[in-house]
Structure 1
Amino acid sequence: MKRSNKRWTVVFLIFLATSINYMDRANLGIAGPDMMKSIGLSKTEFGLLGSAFFWTYALMQIPVGGIVDKLGPKVTYGVAIIWWSIFSAFTAAGRSVGMLLGIRALMGIGEAPAFPTNTRVISDWLPSKERGIANGLFSMGIAVGSGLTTPVVAWVVQTYGWRTSFIVTGVIGIIWGLVWLATFKNKPSEDKSVNKAELDYILDGNKLETAEEKSNGLKWYHLLRYRNVWGILFGLFAQDYLLYLMLTWLPTYLVIERHMTLLKAGFNSVIPWIAASIGAILGGYLSDRLIKKGWAPISARKMNMTIGMVLSLAIIPAAFVTDVFAALALISLSLGGMMFANGGSWAIVADIAPKNMVGTLAGMQNFIGNISGWIAPILTGFLADKLHNFVAALVLAGVIGALSVVLYIVLLRNEKIEVKVSGGLNNERIS
């Protein structure tokens, strides 16, 4: 019997959701110059507005991981994207800093389940040897939503105004949410379009994890005993710091620092995100390739994550070059490297965590990662205001990335957290 491929349709759906997610986030950065003029915002105030989303988004990560594991991805994701899309559209009604801060904070609540849900879906629907490329594909949605849609959103902002752009992106998200609720099944065994050959292929690749799923009584804080967990927590913080700096500031940076028009900045912003898309796919492909050649999954992901974050250090020389195209090339290399690492950062969660705690660990990782969302936008704006340039802000992102490389090398080991029959955890703990 020829194997069906419904699992890749599911991966495509979460790729689209991730693209919409980051298009909604990036809209603020693209509309930034017009919003700053319209409402009278300083760089620091705009940075505060960029960070408001992450106040609630990060705080919700630990509880939403447990919610995903208990309620399943179908309801969790469907409700979440409709919620965040409504508040994305409501951004158009903002008339003051205070009002916009509230709207962005409510939007952050809705987007909180996205990545823990993506990780849970891939854990349920794909065998370990295909998770690298699957995570690379959904991570590519970060680059597509953040950058490849930038010229279109910039055109909408310039032609119809910044308020219209938020309404348009909000409507797109609501449409996706309705499609998800109508078509997605939590498990491949529940989906009639998955034939026996595909189901056997998925389940055969997840035999050990399926046995673990019956375990219970474990708490999220138990996971903090393990070196691997600390390594991936800081690693995503470093990746997200660079990501959210660029997501919030790249078009505005090109307008203010590199003296481009908004439309030109919108088109030039695409270049680093194309590199990021390529990095995401290459990173996922390489880690799966290494696993098929006999590498342990954690070792393969570690290799990707370390190489990617070394490449991300190109953000440091980008801060100092005077030629705008050299700066764009170095920023592109940096973002491409970060996304090369990012797919591994999500794939490794299912390689490390017990099956019944994949969503929980993903939520913990996303919580720590997105604390950078509190810091990067507003600190970048503060440094740019005080120093009248973006040099220190870019160098700081590089320093944080360098520390993640060190921690990957020191902390990540080829050890999955195993569940004892009694419901306890078994693995090497941090001494």
Structure 2
Amino acid sequence: MSNSPERQRWKMLLALTCAFALSQAYRTVAAIMAPSLQQDFGLSAQGLGLFSGMFHLAFGGLQLAMGIGVDMHGVRRTVLAAFPLAIAGALLSAMAPGFGTLLLGQALIGIGCAPAFLVCTVFIARQFPPHRFASVSGLVLAIGGMGMLLTGTPLAWLIEAWSWRAGFLALALLSVLAWLAVLRWVREPAAGQAGSVRRETLGGALRGFAQLFTFPHTWGILALGAVSYASFVTLRGLWLGPMMVERHGLSLVEAGNVAVLVTVVALVGPPLFGRLDPGERTRRRWIVGYGLASAALFAVAAFGLGLAGDLAVLVVLSLVLGFMVLQYADVRSAYPMAMTGRALSLFTMSMFLGVALVQWLTGLAAGAAQAAGLPIPAVVLGALAAILAAGVAAFAWLPRPPRPGQH
């Protein structure tokens, strides 16, 4: 019986992670759907970037609202209210007669998925001891990342057998099951217990978010947050498929197999870095070092090393980018406990608005490369290297959080 509360916490966290896994699938569909969408709707490289970026723009833009929702109404109510929009968006996308309707579907999916990862991190911060935050978050990232496996070989096979519309229908069905899991298993803590809903006004919640910007170290945290996760999702969720098809002549299913390989390796990184978390005193040096290493790997991949060489670089890069879980631990320790939920939601907002920005920028880079007759994969990967390096520099040079115990 002594372990019953622990088991209950894990059951609720697993249900929340199911919704997060579906959001991971939705945000990476473009990598496999790209050739079919370009054929059906005549999309340019910029149009493809807009399609993929619309999810992240809606997802990131709603983080503030979702953070307020979690603070005022709780984790369970926020997910149950928002996630049906993802189901509606998937169904609308499956039936889209034109590109405009497809973009609307992507926006609805992004809004519906907006609380998916935020509620997991807030739940962990409130329900688990601080020293377990990095390791539990890493495990959730790994489990939730399995949603990306759906957009590898399985989705490629489904698209080749039927169409990209069938892919959206399948994701809609899985989303219904995830919503039912949250309805069945997740419960709000009773008043007065850890993680219970705080009663406050909307104005008070907004002032709480505004207060985060009075901390000098917020800006460096947001700068790197906006590009680190974005660099991986932009590669895995948008350009990996076109890169494998155009640079190496792979079929869609073969490109899907590469996506599965990259995803499986990426699932190992977060729990590994979560367990290796060195703590507050040296964590930021680790973040800078692994961030620069990731930028260097993007730069190496830009040159093109043949299929085997590119695969090797992508595998190492996917593992190293797992350092991003340390950024969440950094946010967790950089603010007073009372501000943790809001700080995590602001950081999450920067991550996914950053994805929309980085995907748009790489779309512009791809368009410029196409106009100049340059190889698109090389230009896109070079742009990702430069963007990530700039984020790391901002994180390293802008003000740091106070030392432990100085909050």
The verdict on how the C-alpha distance between 1:282 and 1:303 changes in structure 2, with shifts beyond 3 A counting, is farther
- Pick the aligned partner of 2:139 from 137, 140, 143: 137
Aligned to 2:19: 17
Distance 1:51 1:23, change over 3 A: same
2-structure distance, mates of 1:307, 1:45: 35
Identity of aligned residues (%): 22
2:389 is the counterpart of 1:395: no
Structure 1 contact 132–285 (Cα < 8 Å) conserved: yes
CA offsets 1:6-59 (integer angstroms, 9 cap, x no match):
233333333332221111222232111112112222222111111122332222
Q: Distance in 1 between matches of 2:402 and 2:11?
A: 31
Of the three residues 234, 239, 247, the one matched with 1:257 is: 247
Q: Deviations over 1:282-320 (max 9, x none)?
A: 111111xx4xxxx4xx33542443343133121110010
- The count of residues paired between Structure 1 and Structure 2 equals 391
Could you tell me which residue of structure 2 aligns to residue 72 of structure 1? Answer: 74
- Given the alignment of the two structures, is residue 358 of structure 1 paired with residue 340 of structure 2, yes or no? yes
Shift of 1:98: 1.2
Structure 2 CA distance, aligned partners of 1:413 and 1:146? 33
1:155 Cα offset (Å): 0.9
CA distance in 2, matches of 1:55, 1:148: 22
Task: Give, in angstroms, the shift of residue 242 of structure 1.
Answer: 0.5
Q: Do the aligned residues in 2 keep the contact of 1:47 with 1:378 (CA within 8 Å)? A: yes
Residue number among 387, 405, 409 corresponding to 2:396 in the alignment:
409
Supply the AA of the counterpart residue of 2:354.
Answer: S
Asked whether the equivalents of residues 226 and 352 of structure 2 are also in contact (C-alpha less than 8 Å), the reply is: yes
Alignment-mate amino acid for residue 28 of structure 1 = A
Match of 1:206 in 2: none
Q: Is the CA contact 1:316–1:395 (under 8 Å) kept in the aligned structure 2?
A: yes
Preserved CA contact (<8 Å) 1:24 1:170: no
Q: CA deviation at 1:149?
A: 4.7
Counterpart contact for 2:124–2:136, Cα < 8 Å? yes
Confirm or deny: 8 A CA contact 1:88 1:107 kept in the other structure.
yes
Question: What does residue 286 of structure 1 align with?
Answer: 276
Q: How does 1:1-400 map to 2 (within 5 A)?
A: 2-4=2-4, 5-6=6-7, 7-141=9-143, 143-147=145-149, 149-187=151-189, 217=204, 218-246=207-235, 247-287=237-277, 290=278, 295=279, 298-299=280-281, 301-313=283-295, 314-338=297-321, 340-388=322-370, 389-400=376-387
Q: How far, CA to CA, are the matches of 1:94 and 1:417 in structure 2?
A: 54
What is the RMSD of the two structures over their aligned residues, measured on CA atoms?
Answer: 2.6
Evaluate the alpha carbon distance shift between residue 33 and residue 123 of structure 1 in structure 2; reply closer, same or farther with a 3 A threshold: same
Asked whether the 8 Å contact 1:150–1:270 carries over to 2, the reply is yes
Once the two structures are superposed, what CA deviation does each residue of 1:356-398 show, in whole Å capped at 9, x if it has no partner?
4333222221222222222232332332233132222212211
**Contact 1:244–1:376, Cα closer than 8 Å, also in 2:** no
CA contact (8 A) 2:365 2:383 kept: no
Deviations 1:59-112 (A, max 9, x none): 212222111111110111122222212212321111211111111112221122
What is the identity, as a one-letter code, of the residue corresponding to 2:3? R
- Counterpart in the other structure of 1:194: none
Partner Cα distance (2:28, 2:282) in 1: 31
Q: What's the secondary structure of 1:319's corresponding residue?
A: helix
Is the contact between residue 321 and residue 327 of structure 1 (CA under 8 Å) also seen in structure 2? yes
Q: Where does the alignment leave 5 or more consecutive residues of structure 1 unmatched?
A: 191-198, 204-208, 419-426
State the distance in 2 between where 1:221 and 1:273 align.
36
What residue is the counterpart of 2:373 in the other structure? none
Instruction: Report the Cα distance in structure 1 between the residues aligned to 2:289 and 2:188, rounded to whole angstroms.
Output: 34
For residues 221 and 37 of structure 1, do their structure 2 counterparts lie closer, same or farther at Cα, with a shift above 3 Å needed? same
TM-score (norm 1): 0.83
In structure 2, relative to structure 1, the CA distance for the partners of 1:274 and 1:42 (3 Å cut) is same
What SS class does the counterpart of residue 172 from structure 2 fall into?
helix
> 1:2 Cα deviation (Å)?
4.2
Change (3 A) 1:214 1:174: closer
- Give the 3 Å change call, closer, same or farther, for CA 151–316 of structure 1 in structure 2: same
Secondary structure, aligned partner of 1:412: coil
Equivalent residues of 1:35, 1:41 under 8 A apart? yes
Q: CA deviation at 1:140?
A: 1.9
Any stretches of 5+ residues in structure 2 without a counterpart? 371-375
Given that residues 125 and 133 in structure 2 are in contact (C-alpha distance below 8 angstroms), is that contact kept between their aligned partners in structure 1? yes
1:235 maps to a residue whose letter is L
Q: 2: CA distance between counterparts of 1:249 and 1:408?
A: 26
Distance 2:405 2:22 in 1: 33
Measure how far apart 1:167 and its partner are: 0.6
